[in-house]
Amino acid sequence: MAHLDDLLAGAETTLDDEILDRIGEIVPPGTDVGTLDMAYVPPAISSVTLRRRPAGERAAA
């Protein structure tokens, strides 16, 4: 239960553009992180418009 509480506490977290840009520098969009991921291309990678939602729509709600 404590683990679930910790995860739920982060659900309202919104990352700003600076943080997202820093993450993108470390792991660029489309980077394969494992051999099983190589066969799947998510829509957010194929369509640039889906990569970053407006700031008000980023938090998981």
Q: How many domains does the chain have?
A: 1
Domain residues for 37? 2-52
**pLDDT band for position 59 (cuts 50, 70, 90):** low
Is 35 within a domain? yes
What pTM does this model have? 0.47
Is 32 within a domain? yes
Amino acid letter, 47:
S
Output the six-digit token pair for 1: 């239960």
Is 40 within a domain? yes
Is 13 within a domain? yes
Torsion sign (Cα): 6, 11, 12, 15? positive
**pLDDT band for position 3 (cuts 50, 70, 90):** very high
pLDDT tens-digit readout, 5-41? 988 988 888 888 899 889 988 888 777 777 666 677 7
Is the pLDDT at 61 greater than 70, yes or no? no
pLDDT for the residue 22:
92
Is 61 within a domain? no
